[in-house]
Chain A
Amino acid sequence: MSDLFANYEHGKFYDEMFAAPGKARPHYRRLYERFGLLENMAELMDRQRTADQTFIDRGVTFTVYSDNAGTEKIFPFDLVPRIIPSHEWAHLEKGLVQRMTALNLFLADIYGPQRILKEGIMPREMIESSKNFRPELVGCKIAKDLYVHINGSDMIRDGDGLYSVLEDNLRTPSGVSYVLENRQVMKRVFPNMLRDYRVRPVENYTNDLLNLLLYLAPAHVPEPTVVLLTPGVYNSAYFEHSFLARQMGIEIVEGSDLVVENDKVYMRRTDGLAPVHVIYRRIDDDFLDPTVFNPKSLLGVPGLFNAYKKGNVALCNPIGTGVADDKAVYYYVPKMIKFYLGEDPILPNIETFLSGNESELSYILANLPKLVVKSVNEAGGYGMLVGPHSTQVQIEEFRAKIIANPRNFIAQPTIALSRCPTVIEGGSIEGRHIDFRPYILNGETIKIMPGGLTRVALRKGSLVVNSSQGGGSKDTWVLNDDVTHPPVPVPEKIIV
């Protein structure tokens, strides 16, 4: 029996697989033993190549923006799964349901009575200065009182293995197609291990999403038509858009395919106009309707906003959810949970400093080399400073930006993200930092897919997991029950 982990360096981080050098955590023991059955590292690298080729053949790609050719790349996939035992998942699920409930109440409040502002829990100025707040919608009734339908919260584990929420994504969180495709590939590469582990299936996601979308349709429509609105084939997430549309059997449309007549939305078909009742939009608010938001947008649909306000069409997510994933508003989520639910948050936030608060600004400016600074409205790892990994010049550049516009930034301590064993190109297994994005659907009930996107920073020592910055992904296995005493493994022929 070979030991692929013989030279594995444990490091001073929380390791998902090993409690101590050579000592696998209970839920990883079976995998540890199975990997031991592989002949050698070369055999594992063969599996890795098979997996990579499968992604290329299936066209599971994303487009790189910075590159003019619009090159399509695969999102690198790592064979070592992230395993979440069922008791940990139960905890996460409870915490995420609580958070989603509070965020929905917060949005309903902000676009309604604004109690949280009136009672001084949050400064009014913070909401009104948020780029993603839509004052036009205050007082506007929303389908089924659901002010947010999909959230992809980014979560991390610190040095002690404690899960906390790094940020929420309540606009158009992406990545779920990779979760589904990753599982398909793992089923081919490690079928027996998946079965023996009793991994919970993620397959139902598209079904749940479709049910959610249908639930949002205006009440009087017997057979509602749902479409997915994409910015188009050149968008970096187009693969995901077309994947989800195919899985749900709905039409994928561009802005130019939709027209609004008498405040009703139609799609242009060859046989005439067909009514549309629910739009799963993968376009930001700003681009939805050029007559109301960004007038330069060619992606949107003129008149859509009014059709939406009149309740003739439902949008998922609704307009204006972005105010809740403003990173400065994030700071207040624990307070929201307390305020709306009277509960303590089950999942904590990361310690966060607002440069908009004067006392915290001076702390931030004095500690930049230790902190991670983020611009409040950016996503995808853009517009951020990782203090410990930055040059003096980069730090000074950011200092000037923060002073010029303090409302626009937050800072957090650099977290020692947990690490998970990862197959490295040269042919070894090393620890790499990971995070986690679960997908939470808020429809008739709150549903959380048992799994999610585990992203891994493939560059040695890197803490940035974004696909645009050299990140990859892993399959995430949520277990049905905790495997504490694994039976003796049977020799497995790995079927590809």
Chain B
Amino acid sequence: MLSRVANLVYWMARQLERAENTARIVDVNAQLVLDLQSRQAADDPKSWEPLVYVTGDEEKFFELYGETVTERAVIEFMLFDKRNPSSLISCVSLARENARCIRDQLSAEVWETLNTFFLKLKSDDFSRYAQLGSAEYLSRVKTQIQLFYGVAESMIPRTGLWWFFQLGRHLERADNTSRILDVKYYMLLPDLYAVGSALDMVQWASVLRSCSAFEAFRRSRRGQLNLERVVDYLLRDDVFPRSILYSVTEAEQALGQITADAVHLEDTAPARLIRELRAELEMIDVPAVIADGLHEFLDEVQVKLFDIHNAIQATFVEYDTADAKVQA
């Protein structure tokens, strides 16, 4: 397939996955704030601040909204602000723009599902969000994205188009799950003795809920919620679809399909990097990782995912034409 088309569909998938995760993170925080109601008022800056750090865009946020973190500012920034390239609206609008460029290759239903979603979302704002309530509003958003995935899954032929879609989607998901796990790093506990307290539990539960992993976790581990178990689950559970290891494995498989017909690309940088990351995740010693600093470890995972992304770009999209292989 054409490099440009591959890149468009890859980014379309990344943008949509990011949109979904943004909706998840906001949703969970909104619920968490309700659980904390007794202790903190909803407009306590501390309740919303972690989200700003999770996006990795805190500089942009403070530049646009000043130093005071309010619920409204965070919602505006993460959902409706077009100046934030990672906001829900920015992601969906970019995904739709990409789809428009390859519309001739998408079936009518795939295109229409995304286009209808975008057209509805376009006119939404904070007052619409407040009017419906966060749970209702965000569940509608998530449903729309899930609907798109469903239609795409049943409509897109398993050609390169689909595998680049899968590749983008799972790399983005791996990155997003690592960020969600990292939220906990920014959620302050009142003091060291609060580890294992009710508040600590509520926070861990919310991290799991961000990934729709709460019930799955309960079923799989039956154990008490604690740092080690949650990290282990989200980092490297091999059957939960949103765990980092699972997402990386899916991306690796998509990559394998892409290079199946191009033997000369089978063992190039993207494949090597992704294989290394998967192997590392399979082997890690979770207690040691926590002891050495979870935040630093997650940072490293994100850097590796970014390296994989760059390698994909360099191998399939922006390669130097002077020494590219010429097909017979």
Contact = CB atoms under 8 A, between A and B. Distances in A.
Interface of A: 57, 59, 232-233, 242-243, 245-246, 251-254, 256-257, 259, 261, 266-275
8 contacts: A242-B103, A242-B104, A243-B104, A254-B4, A268-B321, A270-B1, A270-B3, A272-B264
B189 interface: no
Given A270-B164, A275-B326, 6 more contacts: A57-B108, A254-B4, A259-B321, A268-B4, A269-B327, A272-B326
- Which 10 A/B pairs are nearest by Cβ-Cβ distance? A242-B104, A271-B262, A272-B325, A270-B316, A268-B3, A274-B327, A259-B321, A270-B6, A233-B101, A272-B324
A279 B164 CA distance: 27
Contacts of B164: 270
Most chain-B CB neighbours within 10 Å: which of A243, A259, A269? A269
Contact of A59 (B2, B3, B108, B319): B108
Nearest to B102: A233
Contacts of B324: 268, 272-273
Given A266-B326, A271-B261, A246 B104 contact: yes
Interface in B57-113: 100-101, 103-104, 108
B294 interface: no
Interface string B253-278: 00000100110110000000000000
Contacts of A271: 261-262, 264-265, 325, 327
Given A59-B108, A233-B100, A273-B321, A268 B2 contact: yes
B216 interface: no
B6 A273 contact: no
Given A270-B316, A271-B261, A272-B325, A256 B4 contact: yes
Contacts of B316: 270
Contacts of A251: 2
Contacts of A272: 262, 264, 324-327
B104 A252 contact: yes
Contacts of B326: 266, 272-275
Nearest to A267: B2
B322 interface: yes
Nearest to A57: B108
B160 interface: yes
Contacts of A266: 321, 326
A270 B160 contact: yes
A245 B105 CA distance: 11
Contacts of B1: 269-270
Contacts of A256: 4
B289 interface: no
Interface string B220-259: 0000000000000000000000000000000000000010
Contacts of B100: 233
Contacts of B265: 271
Interface in B132-154: none
Contact of A257 (B2, B104, B322): B2
Contacts of A273: 321, 324-327
Nearest to A260: B321
A275 B228 CA distance: 55
B321 A245 contact: no
Interface string B1-40: 1111010000000000000000000000000000000000
Given A259-B321, A268-B321, A269-B327, A245 B2 contact: no
B281 interface: no
Nearest to A274: B327
A257 B322 CA distance: 15
Contacts of B2: 251, 253, 257, 267-270
B317 interface: yes
A421 B258 CA distance: 56
Contacts of A274: 326-327
A59 B321 CA distance: 36
Contacts of A268: 2-4, 319, 321, 324
A233 B319 CA distance: 24
Nearest to B1: A270
B258 A59 contact: no
A282 to B, nearest CB: 14
Contacts of A259: 321
B310 to A, nearest CB: 16
A246 B104 CA distance: 7
Contact of B322 (A233, A243, A253, A261): A261
A270 B103 CA distance: 19
Contacts of B160: 270
A256 B325 CA distance: 18
A269 B103 contact: no
A272 B164 CA distance: 16
Nearest to B315: A270
A365 B65 CA distance: 64
B327 A275 contact: yes
Contacts of A254: 4
A257 B326 CA distance: 14
A269 B160 CA distance: 11
Nearest to A251: B2
A59 B103 CA distance: 10
Contacts of B317: 270
Contacts of B262: 270-272
A400 to B, nearest CB: 43
Contacts of B264: 271-272
Contact of B258 (A245, A257, A270): A270
